[in-house]
């Protein structure tokens, strides 16, 4: 017990000393211990035997030890390469000037060449330099290693702000009237099988879940196509898990399931519905099949179905992304989606402290791709475009209400 306390005190003391002071202190203690002292102090301090022996020689010599906390005497140590060969820095600046990518006025620069490539290039010119030295010189020149940062969304659409304001105002109006406002989107397709799923989860130590090395579709047992509907007012959602394709027909069928499972019960007095969707994909504003099937849904419910699309490049603003899909991804991280039952259970068990609840349903229907809707069929739709951004905002009414 006493020796352990002494060891802890010694280590704390060593942490406060510089290199030379540490060497001298350990050497003094080794001398004090006598026979076997060097070995014991090496084990205690972590210093090497030659370092301790060097410290003992320094203590026993008549030369004055370095003062002012200096680790080495002035002028000691190997000369910097750029001091011996000043042209190396000129060459390095030339290389970086050719490969710098970014704002030339910025104080922080970055390079597309690695330190190994730069080292090889300089060595080919007859100089000797290591990749570590290249890295140190680059840092001194205000360079740093950096990754790409996703910040550029492209040139904003001129109607972007007006569309966001329009969606916000219309959603408030629907909520005040007691009508449903839903956010819809398709989640990323997932391979079914013993494939790696991003993220980590707690497991017994040294017993990671073993999965396939390759995530080839040919090694999977199919795919899961999740399409989600998020009820903004109730903080509840439904995910329809398909097994074929993410088509407009599948998207509208998922909304239909949500209405008959939840919507009609939660909003028994509703006479209209607001759908907030992305601009592209199976629920895109240019997708004719999407509007054609929404007309069928409107006739069947029957409700006035209003659709508002988010502007291009703003899909992450869709509430379903950060209020529902993100929590599903967190819930199943690190868990291989070995079968459809696992997918359904993991989605259905997703909850949050704010009361999010999700139900998952399996849709085994095979949805065909490439279905075309003719101009004649489009003219038969009871569709009215809004005055504000008419391409992105429209209302589909039941066909028997054309005169309303």
- Alpha-carbon distance of 340 to 342, in angstroms, equals 5
In sequence order, the β-bridge partners of residue 241 are 226, 362
What's the confidence (pLDDT) of residue 122? 86
What's the confidence (pLDDT) of residue 57? 87
What's the confidence (pLDDT) of residue 8? 64
pLDDT tens-digit series, residues 32-73? 888 888 988 888 888 889 988 988 888 888 666 655 555 555
pLDDT tens-digit series, residues 207-253? 888 888 888 888 888 999 999 999 999 999 999 999 999 999 999 99
pLDDT tens-digit series, residues 157-180? 788 999 999 999 999 999 999 999
Task: Judge whether 196 and 215 are in contact, CB under 8 Å.
Answer: yes
The answer to which of 140-144, 336-340, 382-386 has the lowest mean pLDDT is 140-144
Radius of gyration of the chain (CA): 34
Q: What percent of the chain has pLDDT over 90?
A: 51
Q: In the predicted model, what is the mean pLDDT of the chain? A: 87
In sequence order, the β-bridge partners of residue 183 are 230, 276
Task: Judge whether 163 and 276 are in contact, CB under 8 Å.
Answer: no
Model-wide pTM > 0.85: no
């Amino acid at each position: 017990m006493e020796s352990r306390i002494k060891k802890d005190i010694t280590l704390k003391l060593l942490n406060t000393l510089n290199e030379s002071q540490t060497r001298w202190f350990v050497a003094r203690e080794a001398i004090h211990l006598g026979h076997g002292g060097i070995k014991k102090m090496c084990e205690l301090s972590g210093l090497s035997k030659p370092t301790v022996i060097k410290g003992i020689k320094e203590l026993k010599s008549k030369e004055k030890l370095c003062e002012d906390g200096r680790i080495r005497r002035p002028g000691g140590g190997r000369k910097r390469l750029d001091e011996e060969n000043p042209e190396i820095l000129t060459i390095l600046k030339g290389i970086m000037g050719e490969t710098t990518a970014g704002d030339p006025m910025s104080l922080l620069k970055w390079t597309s060449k690695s330190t190994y490539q730069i080292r090889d290039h300089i060595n080919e010119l007859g100089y000797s330099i290591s990749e570590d030295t290249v890295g140190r010189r680059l840092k001194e020149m205000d360079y740093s290693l950096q990754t790409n940062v996703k910040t550029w969304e492209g040139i904003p659409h001129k109607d972007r702000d007006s569309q966001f304001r329009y969606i916000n105002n219309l959603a408030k109006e629907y909520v005040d009237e007691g009508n449903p406002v839903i956010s819809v989107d398709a989640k990323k397709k997932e391979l079914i099988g013993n494939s790696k799923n991003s993220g980590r989860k707690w497991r017994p130590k040294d017993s990671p879940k073993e999965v396939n090395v390759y995530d080839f579709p040919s090694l999977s047992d199919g795919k899961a196509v999740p399409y989600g509907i998020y009820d903004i007012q109730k903080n509840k959602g439904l995910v329809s898990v398909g097994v074929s394709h993410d088509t407009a027909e599948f998207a509208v069928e998922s909304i239909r399931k949500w209405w008959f499972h939840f919507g009609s019960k939660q909003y028994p007095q509703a006479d209209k519905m607001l759908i907030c969707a992305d601009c592209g994909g199976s629920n895109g504003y240019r997708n004719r099949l999407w509007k054609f099937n929404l007309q069928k849904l409107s006739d069947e419910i029957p409700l006035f179905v209003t659709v508002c699309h988010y502007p291009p490049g703003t899909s992450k603003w869709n509430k379903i992304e950060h209020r529902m899909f993100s929590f599903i991804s967190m819930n199943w991280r690190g868990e291989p989606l070995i079968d459809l039952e696992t997918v359904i259970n993991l989605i259905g068990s997703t909850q949050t402290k704010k009361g999010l609840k999700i139900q998952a349903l399996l849709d085994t229907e095979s949805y065909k791709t490439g279905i075309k809707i003719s101009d004649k069929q489009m003219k038969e739709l009871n569709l009215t475009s809004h005055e504000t951004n008419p391409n992105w905002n429209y209302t589909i009414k039941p066909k028997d209400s054309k005169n309303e």
